[in-house]
């Protein structure tokens, strides 16, 4: 355990007593990887700019911050779900507003898992409590149910100055962390959870990035490698680029419903050991963008593999309530880990992530989330606590919302019936839409679609002709981007090309959310099907 972290502590450690606050050990990178020399860069730019612009005869100085001297890691950051296609979609919306004629009247953004944007209604109880927290005078209002008032009072009691406008502890409000721990215990059939191991965050993304930041270190062949699935959620590749970590890809098996195979993990790990130091294994379950739900057996195999290979496990479980397929069930990594006995449960280091943005709530705008850490070295934990303090605290309304999610109305409370009804409707709708999507897509020649067992997306494979591929090349686009752009321009439907998530060489996909309301979803699915046939014909 200690060995995973031995080189990490000094990095985050702070030496205040010295005059220059230098963080981390001096690197011995030598001349090879040196950043462009500042003087020469600026001179070069100055020359360029001087010829370009002079103000009142005075040559203007070159930029301090240029592509040449900015943090090179940032250049490698790509975030497809908010990438160029989305920017174009926004532009088209603007054009429509300005009266430009298009073959469609609205842009349907099926690019992002944003339930409310697609018309899903917020859960009444959650919003009532939050409104009460925001404006406590409403506690006098008899229109609000008693259990909502009770929750609001309890949350306010836990806030500094009884206001959700006060900072909370960086790790999150204590009573919320306690509720999260109790929720996890209940979910995992009684396996204990310690509130000290719960860190609330600004959405799960923030927690994932923080964990990676803590784990990544070393230089050259010793640089940390992080294993991520392909296809993956682009937050991972973006964060790894940003941190300068080495991405170690393992492929999910599309022919077996995007399942994870330990042999493939091993292949990928061994290959990576030639050039980096793989120390982290990331798993997304239920899968994004692939929608598969892992079996208990598979999780056990992964845990065994992580232990054998001495890897830190990061389990992204934000879709844990979104499981639709018959025979599939969500198993948390933590539960499986503890059921495997002390040999595993007391050694394998793990972080598990959850969020308020998905499941039945879909409250993305609140940026609420948490992670639970297991078996982390106490000294490293102290560093983690310090690391999260830099952001001061996660948004307090998001923490309050999380508290309600982990501690929903109980059967004997007045809001229970409505709450359960709303929750059930959302999840049942999603299940229906998951089924519908698979069914309709699979009827289209040239589209093959795995069942959407869970999460909120479908990731169908599309067959593109050589002619289409050549045309894309001509346009300077990757083939599936070319396809998606064309779909956006012709049908007003915004999807994310598979290349943004990673796919096997020579295969093409797109990701679409299943979130539009059922009737609209049918229209979207049919439009895409028709487009696909048209596209195939055009480039045949």
Partner 1 sequence: MKQLEYVVLARRASQIMEELRKGARKPYSEVIDVSWGDPHRAGVKPLSFVRQVLAACLYPELVNSNKLPVDVRQRAQRLLGQCAGGSIGSYTATAGIAEIVHRVSEFITRRDGGAPSHPENIFISAGSQWALQNILKVLVNSKSSPKTGVLTPVPCHCTTTLSIMGLGAVVIPYYLSEEQGWELQVEELDRALESAKGVCNPVALYVINPGNPSGGKISPEQRTPKYIFVSKNMYHMVVFHAMLPVGHIQRRKSIQEVIRFVSEKKLFLLADEVYQGCVYGEKSEFISYKRVLAEMGPPLSDTVELASFHSASKGFMGECGMRGGYVELINLDPDVMKYIYKLFSKDSCAPVLGQIALDLMINPPQPGDPSYPLYNVETQNIRTMLVHNVKRAFEVVNSLPGFCCQPVEGGAFAFPRLHLPPKAIQKAKEVGLQPDTFYCIRLLEEAGVLISPGCEYGQKEGTHHIRFCIMTSEVMMEELLRRLTCFHTQFMKDFS
* Residue of 120, 229, 292, 407 interacting with partner 1 (CB under 8 A): 120
| Span 333-392, contacts to partner 1 by CB under 8 A | 361-367, 385-387, 389-392
Show contacts with partner 1 in window 241-270 (CB under 8 A). 242, 244
Determine which helix (DSSP H) or strand (DSSP E) holds 72, and give its type and residue range: helix 72-75
Residues 383-442 that bind partner 1 (CB under 8 A): 385-387, 389-398
What gap in Å lies between CA 466 and CA 473, rounded to an integer?
A: 10
C-alpha to C-alpha distances, 328 to 293, 297, 321, nearest whole angstrom: 7, 12, 12
Residues 256, 258, 262, 264, Cα dihedral to 10°: 90
Tokens 């492929």 map to which residue?
Answer: 251
**Residue from the set 116, 266, 471, 527 that interacts with partner 1 by CB under 8 A:** 116
Q: How far is the CB of 351 from partner 1 (least distance, A)?
A: 19
Q: Using CA atoms, how far apart are residues 429 and 518, in angstroms rounded to an integer?
A: 8
Written as six digits, the tokens of 72 are 């090179």
Region from 118-126, 430-438, 485-493, 494-502 binding partner 1, contact rule CB under 8 A:
118-126
Q: Which of 163, 410, 424, 442 binds partner 1 (CB under 8 A)?
A: 163
When binding is defined by CB under 8 A, the residue of 8, 130, 155, 350 that contacts partner 1 is 130
Q: Shortest CA distance to 380 belongs to which of 368, 370, 388?
A: 388
State in angstroms the smallest separation of the CB of 426 from partner 1. 12
**What is the DSSP secondary-structure string of 182-212?**
HHHHHHTTT----GGGEEEEEHHHHHHHHHH
| CB closer to partner 1 out of 363 and 491 | 363
Nearer CB in complex with partner 1: 172/460: 172
Site for partner 1, residues 63 to 82, rule: CB under 8 A: 63-67, 69-75, 77-79, 82
Return the closest-CA partner of residue 251 out of 213, 212, 224, 287.
287
- Binding to partner 1 by residue 238, rule CB under 8 A? yes
Give yes or no for a contact between 212 and 280, defined as CB atoms under 8 angstroms apart: yes
Give the other-Cβ count within 10 Å of 383's Cβ: 20
Considering only residues 210 to 229 of the shown chain, the ones binding partner 1 according to CB under 8 A are: 213
Options 115-123, 276-284, 331-339, 527-535: segment touching partner 1 (CB under 8 A): 115-123
Among 1, 117, 139, 230, binds partner 1 (CB under 8 A): 117
Closer by beta carbon to partner 1, 72 or else 446: 72
Cα gap 127→508, rounded to integer Å: 41
Helix (H) or strand (E) segment spanning residue 354: strand 350-355
CB of 309 to partner 1, least distance (A): 27
- Kindly tell me which of 201 and 536 has the beta carbon lying closer to partner 1: 201
Tokens of 218: 């070393």
Size of the site for partner 1 (CB under 8 A): 104
User: CB-wise, 132 or 351, nearer to partner 1?
Assistant: 132
- Tokens 């215990």 correspond to what residue? 185
Among 161, 327, 411, 476, binds partner 1 (CB under 8 A): 161
Residue 196 CB, shortest distance to partner 1, in Å, is: 11
Q: Which residues contact 302 (CB under 8 A, 6 or more apart)?
A: 260, 262, 265, 281, 283, 294, 313, 333
Please, what's the b/e burial string for 497-506 (b: 16 or more CB within 10 A of its CB; e: otherwise)? bbbbbbbeee
CB nearer to partner 1: pick between 29 and 425: 29
Choices 26-34, 266-274, 321-329, 529-537 (CB under 8 A): range interacting with partner 1: 26-34
Among 27, 43, 442, 518, binds partner 1 (CB under 8 A): 27
Shortest distance in whole angstroms from residue 448 CB to partner 1: 30
Build a one-symbol-per-residue string for 5-24: x at contacts with partner 1 by CB under 8 A, - elsewhere.
Answer: -------xxx-x--xxxxxx
Site for partner 1 in 182-201 (CB under 8 A): none
Residues 133-152 that bind partner 1 (CB under 8 A): 134-135, 137-138, 141, 143
Q: Give the shortest CB-28-to-partner 1 separation in angstroms.
A: 9
Residue 52 in contact with partner 1, rule: CB under 8 A = no
Among 47, 48, 61, 296, binds partner 1 (CB under 8 A): 61
* Residue from 60, 270, 297, 347 in contact with partner 1 (CB under 8 A): 60
- Exactly one of 33, 47, 48, 467 binds partner 1 (CB under 8 A); that residue is 33
Q: Give the chain's end-to-end CA distance (angstroms, integer).
A: 57
- The Cα 217–Cα 203 span in angstroms is 24
> DSSP assignment of 209-227, as one string?
HHHHHHH----GGGSEEEE
Q: Please report whether residue 43 would count as binding partner 1 according to CB under 8 A.
A: no
Q: Is the dihedral of CA 497, 503, 509, 514 positive or negative?
A: negative
Nearer to partner 1, 284 or 306 (CB): 284
Q: In terms of C-beta density within 10 A (0-12 exposed, 13-18 middle, 19 or more buried), how is residue 204 classed?
A: buried
Give the one residue of 2, 3, 56, 326 binding partner 1; rule: CB under 8 A: 56
Residue 522: how many other CB atoms lie within 10 Å: 15
Asked if 288 touches partner 1 (CB under 8 A), the answer is no
Q: How many CB atoms lie within 10 A of CB 156?
A: 17
Q: Judged by CB under 8 A, does residue 122 bind partner 1?
A: yes
Q: Are 392 and 202 in contact (CB under 8 A)?
A: no
What is the closest distance, in whole angstroms, from the C-beta atom of residue 38 to partner 1 in the complex?
6
Nearest Cα to 528, choosing from 429, 444, 450?
444
Nearer to partner 1, 132 or 350 (CB): 132
Instruction: Report the alpha-carbon distance of residue 225 to residue 215 in Å, rounded.
Output: 10
């Amino acid at each position: 355990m200690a060995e995973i972290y031995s080189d990490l502590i000094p990095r985050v450690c702070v030496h205040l007593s010295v005059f220059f606050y230098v963080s981390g050990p001096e690197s011995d990178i030598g001349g090879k990887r040196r950043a462009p020399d500042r003087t020469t860069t600026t001179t070069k730019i100055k020359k360029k700019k001087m010829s370009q612009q002079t103000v009142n005869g005075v040559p203007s100085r070159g930029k301090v911050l240029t592509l040449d001297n900015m943090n090179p890691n940032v250049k490698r950051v790509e975030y497809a779900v908010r990438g160029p296609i989305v920017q174009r979609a926004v532009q088209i919306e603007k054009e429509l507003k300005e009266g430009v004629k298009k073959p469609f009247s609205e842009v349907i953004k099926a690019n992002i898992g944003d339930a409310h944007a697609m018309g899903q209604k917020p859960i009444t109880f959650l919003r009532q409590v939050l409104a009460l927290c925001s404006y406590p005078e409403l506690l006098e209002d008899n229109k609000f149910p008693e259990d909502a008032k009770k929750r609001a009072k309890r949350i306010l009691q836990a806030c500094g100055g009884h206001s959700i406008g006060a900072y909370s502890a960086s790790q999150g409000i204590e009573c919320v962390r306690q509720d999260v721990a109790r929720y996890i215990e209940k979910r995992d059939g009684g396996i204990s959870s310690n509130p000290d191991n719960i860190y609330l965050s600004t959405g799960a993304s923030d927690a994932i990035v923080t964990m990676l930041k803590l784990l990544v270190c070393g230089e050259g062949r010793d640089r940390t490698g992080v294993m991520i699935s392909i296809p993956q959620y682009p937050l991972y590749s973006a964060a790894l680029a940003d941190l300068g970590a080495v991405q170690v890809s393992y492929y999910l098996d599309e022919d077996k419903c995007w399942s994870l195979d330990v042999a493939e993990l091993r292949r990928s790990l061994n290959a990576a050991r030639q050039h980096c130091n793989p120390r982290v294994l990331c798993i997304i379950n239920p899968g994004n963008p692939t929608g598969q739900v892992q079996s208990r057996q598979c999780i056990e195999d992964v845990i065994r593999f992580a232990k054998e290979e001495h890897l830190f496990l990061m389990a992204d479980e934000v879709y844990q309530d979104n499981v639709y397929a018959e025979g599939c069930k969500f198993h948390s990594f933590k539960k499986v880990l503890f059921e495997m006995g002390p040999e595993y449960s007391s050694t394998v280091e793990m972080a598990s992530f959850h969020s308020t943005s998905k499941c039945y709530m879909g409250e993305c705008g609140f940026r609420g989330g948490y992670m639970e850490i297991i078996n982390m070295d106490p000294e490293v934990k102290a560093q983690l606590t310090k690391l999260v303090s830099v952001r001061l605290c996660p948004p307090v309304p998001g923490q309050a919302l999380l508290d309600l999610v982990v501690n929903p109305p109980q059967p004997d409370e007045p809001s229970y019936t409505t709450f359960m009804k709303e929750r059930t409707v959302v999840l049942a709708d999603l299940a229906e839409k998951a089924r519908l999507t698979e069914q309709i897509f699979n009827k289209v020649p040239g589209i093959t679609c795995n069942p959407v067992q869970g999460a909120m997306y479908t990731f169908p494979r599309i067959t593109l002709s050589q002619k289409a591929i050549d045309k894309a090349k001509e346009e300077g686009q990757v083939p599936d981007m070319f396809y998606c752009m064309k779909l956006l321009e012709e049908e007003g439907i915004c999807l994310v090309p598979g290349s943004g998530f990673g796919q096997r060489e020579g295969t093409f996909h797109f990701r679409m959310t299943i979130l539009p309301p059922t009737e609209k979803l049918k229209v979207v699915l049919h439009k895409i099907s028709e487009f696909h046939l048209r596209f195939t014909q055009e480039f045949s």
